Amino acid sequence: MTDVYIVTLSTIGILITGPGLAVGLNLLVPRITDRAYRRLTETPGASFIFGGVLGALVTTWVVILASIGGAAQGIAFASAVLGLGIYALGAAGMSRLFGERLAPATPNASPLGRMVRGAVVLELAALTPLVGWFLFAPLAGVMCIGAGAFGLVGWAPKARPVADPALPDATGD
């Protein structure tokens, strides 16, 4: 029975701290999470592809080092923590994105409140049995890794040209 309590209370603790981490990262490193947010907003496909490649590389690296044993296991652990940190930066950007998309439903909410709501929606969607576990969480996770890495290295999406309303339309209308 004690094991059940440990698992249940640990899960509840993780669920409570997830939004806190997302908000904390948005407050601690706003430029990085802003670049991740912009990547997820403007180029989600690039975030997904880059996240898939980076996730596969980090996972392969960690598995190889962990199987060697000895000091390599410590390097594997450090690499895994680094990879999870990159994911957390992207998840902070995704929480902000979800919060912004929830803004019409909560017009009086502060930006901080929207961010917390976005993080909670992200968690709850990933916890949905089967679809959340095997479809949403992996897709969102890969996108978070890509967006977090883009944000960390400073690769913001290129600005798209804005049409000048004073110029005539190219279609001739």
pLDDT in tens, 107-140: 888 999 999 999 999 999 999 999 999 999 999 9
Q: Is residue 53 part of a domain?
A: yes
pLDDT tens digits, one per residue of 22-50: 999 999 999 999 999 999 999 999 999 99
Give 123's Cβ-side CA count (13 Å radius).
20
Q: d(Cα 93, Cα 118) in Å, to the nearest integer? A: 10
Alpha helices in the chain (DSSP H): 2-28, 30-42, 44-68, 71-101, 111-127, 131, 137-153
DSSP structure class, residue 69: -
Contact 136, 125 (CB under 8 A): yes
Q: Is residue 173 part of a domain?
A: no
Q: Is residue 161 part of a domain?
A: no
pTM of the model: 0.86
Q: Pick the closest to residue 151 from 43, 35, 48 (CA basis).
A: 35
Give the domain extent around 25: 2-153
Q: Is residue 169 part of a domain?
A: no
Q: Is residue 167 part of a domain?
A: no
Q: Is residue 162 part of a domain?
A: no
How many domains, in total, are found in the chain? 1
DSSP structure class, residue 29: S
Residue 92, amino acid: A
